[in-house]
Amino acid sequence: MTAASLSHKPATPVLAARDLSKRYGGIMALQSVGLDLGAGEIHGLCGENGAGKSTFIKILGGLVRPDSGEISVDGRPLALGQRTDPQLISIVHQELAIVPTLSVLDNIMLGMGGTSPFYFAHLVRTQVRQGLDEVGLAHIPLDRKASALSLAERQLVEIARGVARRARVLLLDEPTATLSDAEIKRVFDTARLLRDKGTALVFVSHRLDEVFALTDRVTVFRNGQHVLTERTSDLTSRDLVKAMIGRDLVRGTQKPLSVAADRPARLAIAGLRCGDALKPIDLALAPGEIAGVVGQLGSGADVLVEALAGLRGLVDGQIAIDGRAVVIGSVRDAMKAGIAYVPEDRAGKGIFLDAPVWMNLTASVMGRFSRGGVMQRAAERERGLELAAMFRIDPGRLGSEVATLSGGNQQKVALGKAAALTPRILILNEPTRGVDIGARSEIYATLRRLAEQGLAILFYSTDLEEVLELADRVVTIFRGEVVRSIGRDALDGGEILHDILRGRDDTIVLTQ
């Protein structure tokens, strides 16, 4: 019954997930993966973005119904695709589910069924307090309004909710992304206490040092497939990185551009800061260069690209384009300065789903095709055809609603809409999220061609393979600061991961 790759088989699995598969359109998000979890075990779950972790977690929580497979808790099978009883499997999500106007206690009790139609906070109070004290969360104030808590404290409340439910399986999805070191230690202590009481824990994290510090066993997913399950102590961090990003990692096939140091910068940023998210950042981008900014969730790398696109309002610091200082306080400012932006959330921010392709392509440049306010459709159509040819969009589909296109073609439309501005700098946030392999390489080729014509491209991506494939230079960011700027010749996936996970602090050595 147990997968052959298991080196250590728990006697009675608390959680047994077998053969789970899920297909979204043409993409296999999960391909018959399984996981066995014993009582009193902390199990790490690792994998890059798109590896299938989130789908797996959603299936466990009953939010997604798998195409095949089964899950049982303590030997009893779960009804798949229905909300899972939180006393069996409780999930602490990455996105915070806290109601700011309620007290901490009320937040912890949210969604706790019980049989009474009434809820009296004072009746459960002692019980919850005791439960939290037992696992080292004594410092959490039950009566404070959630809105008065810091982001990290809210994360702890979220964890406390999972604890208070006394679930058989507690799943923590990147619980430490927003926490400081002291708070991380607290979460770890809690996790260990729960383990010792017999709870089975799944710990999802990108931070390798945490995986090694906390987990007993670790499972790696890659591209929707199960890659390995091993005792953590039998692995080195190098093994783990390799398993996550794949052994046969192919570097980009395009020839690297030699960027002369004396070329004037297309984009020069000095001392850019944005609230707490970005400490003063310096960055330069040459014409024809494709640079990737890389960082963990909460590192500020995504804030940087949004600030340049004018989505963060006025930010401190100097921005110069081709030597001329510009002020960017809005999207229209950025566009006027020659910056075009493709957001990460295609359906929500990037394209008008119910509008035809041609209308999307010219949406940001309508002013160029209007005479006395009236749109000149002939000129617009001509431009639409040009852009379609540039991004290899079927010209016969120009009149179709974008919603009817595949994800890859939708992304091409989003890119075409930005390219229509004929910008000097193109900024991309997750350039190919949810795009299939074929369209992905087409998009890379087009971006490379645009760069060769002198466009400067800056992109943010959480997909390491994409970064290695596309970037001439990688700028790693850790907690709002630039760690390093690595040229193409020296690019190495392990080093990038190291930079964004640990910053300049060299406590784990990946090249042992």
Partner 1 sequence: MAEAMAVKTTEGWVSERLRRMVATPHELHATSIRGGTLVLIIVAVLFVPHFAEFGNLQSIMYSLAAVGIGAVGMALVTLSGNLFMLSMGATAAFSTVVFASLISLGLLPTMLLVVAAGTLIGLIQGVLIGAADTNPIITTIAAASMITGFGVLWTGGITVVGHGQATWLGFGRVFGLIPNQILVMLIFAGIAGFVMQKTRLGREIRLIGMQRDVARVAGLRLIAATMFCYGFAGAAAALAGSLIASSSAQGNLTYGIDLDFNAIAAVLVGGVSIRGGRGRVGDAVVGAMFLSIIGNVLLVSGVSYEYQLVVKGAVVLASVIIGALLGQWAPRLRRRVGAAR
Q: Which two tokens stand for residue 289?
A: 């260069």
With contact defined as beta carbons under 8 Å apart, do 226 and 18 qualify?
no
Give the nearer residue to partner 1 in terms of CB position, either 284 or 426.
426
Residue from 1, 138, 250, 374 that binds partner 1 (CB under 8 A)? 374
CB closer to partner 1 out of 256 and 395: 395
Residue 325 phi, psi dihedral angles, 5° rounding: -70, 135
- For 428-466, letters b (16+ CB in 10 Å) and e give bbbbbbbbbeebbebbbebbbebbeeebbbbbbbbbbbb
Among 171, 272, 359, 496, which residue interacts with partner 1 (rule: CB under 8 A)?
359
Tell me: does residue 423 bind partner 1 (CB under 8 A): no
Site mask for partner 1 (CB under 8 A), range 280-319, x = bound: -----------------------------x-x--------
Contact by Cβ (8 Å): 281, 302 = no
Q: In three state form, how does the secondary structure of 311-362 look?
A: CCCCCEEEEEECCEEECCCCHHHHHHHCEEEECCCHHHHHCCCCCEHHHHHC
Which range, of 19-27, 76-84, 156-164, 355-363, touches partner 1 by CB under 8 A? 355-363
Residue with smaller CB distance to partner 1, 15 or 405:
405
Nearer to partner 1, 62 or 350 (CB): 350
Phi, psi of 225 (to 5 degrees): -115, 150
Amino acid at 432: T
- Binding-site residue total for partner 1 (CB under 8 A)? 37
Kindly state whether residue 355 participates in binding partner 1, applying the rule CB under 8 A.
Answer: yes
What is the x/- site pattern for partner 1, positions 115-144, by CB under 8 A?
Answer: ------------------------------
For residues 494 and 208, give the distance between their C-alpha atoms in angstroms, rounded to a whole number: 11
Nearest distance in Å: CB 274, partner 1: 18
Joined together, the tokens standing for residue 442 give 């087409």
Distance CA 278, CA 215 (A): 31
Give CA–CA dist 148/138, Å, rounded: 18
Binds partner 1 (CB under 8 A): choice among 143, 189, 196, 354: 354
Q: How far apart are CA 238 and CA 509, in angstroms?
A: 9
- Say whether residue 364 binds partner 1 (CB under 8 A): yes
* Residue 224 binds partner 1 (CB under 8 A): no
The H or E element that residue 196 is part of is helix 181-196
| Cα radius of gyration rounded to whole Å, the chain | 25
276: closest CA among 310, 293, 295, 299? 299
Q: Give the separation between CA 63 and CA 82, rounded to whole angstroms.
A: 7
Q: Applying CB under 8 A, does 434 fall inside the site for partner 1?
A: no
Asked if residue 467 binds partner 1 (CB under 8 A), the reply is no
188 vs 391 by CB, closer to partner 1: 391
Binding of partner 1 by 375 (CB under 8 A): yes
Output the smallest distance, CB 105 to partner 1, in A.
Answer: 32
Count of helices and strands (H, E) across the chain: 15, 22
Shortest separation between residue 502's beta carbon and partner 1, angstroms: 33
- Closest approach of partner 1 to the CB of residue 37, in Å: 39
Where does this chain touch partner 1 (CB under 8 A) — which range of 139-147, 155-163, 399-407, 448-456? 399-407
**Is residue 412 close enough to count as binding partner 1 by CB under 8 A?**
no
Minimal distance, residue 459 CB to partner 1, in Å: 16
SS3 379: helix
Q: Which of 208, 351, 357, 419 binds partner 1 (CB under 8 A)?
A: 351
Dihedral of CA atoms 478, 480, 484, 490 in degrees, nearest 10, equals 60
Q: Is 26 in the site for partner 1 (CB under 8 A)?
A: no
Nearer to partner 1, 365 or 508 (CB): 365
Question: Taking the complex as a whole, how short is the minimal distance between the CB of residue 426 and partner 1, in angstroms?
Answer: 14
| Sequence-ordered list of residues with C-beta below 8 angstroms from that of 455, at least 6 positions apart, any chain | 287, 288, 423, 424, 425, 426
Among residues 123, 151, 389, 509, the one that binds partner 1 under rule CB under 8 A: 389
Structure tokens at 328: 């960017």
Strands 473-478 and 290-295: parallel
Q: Which residues bind partner 1 (CB under 8 A)?
A: 309, 311, 331-332, 335, 341, 343, 348-355, 359, 363-364, 366-367, 369-370, 373-375, 381-382, 385, 388-389, 395-396, 398-399, 401, 404, 417
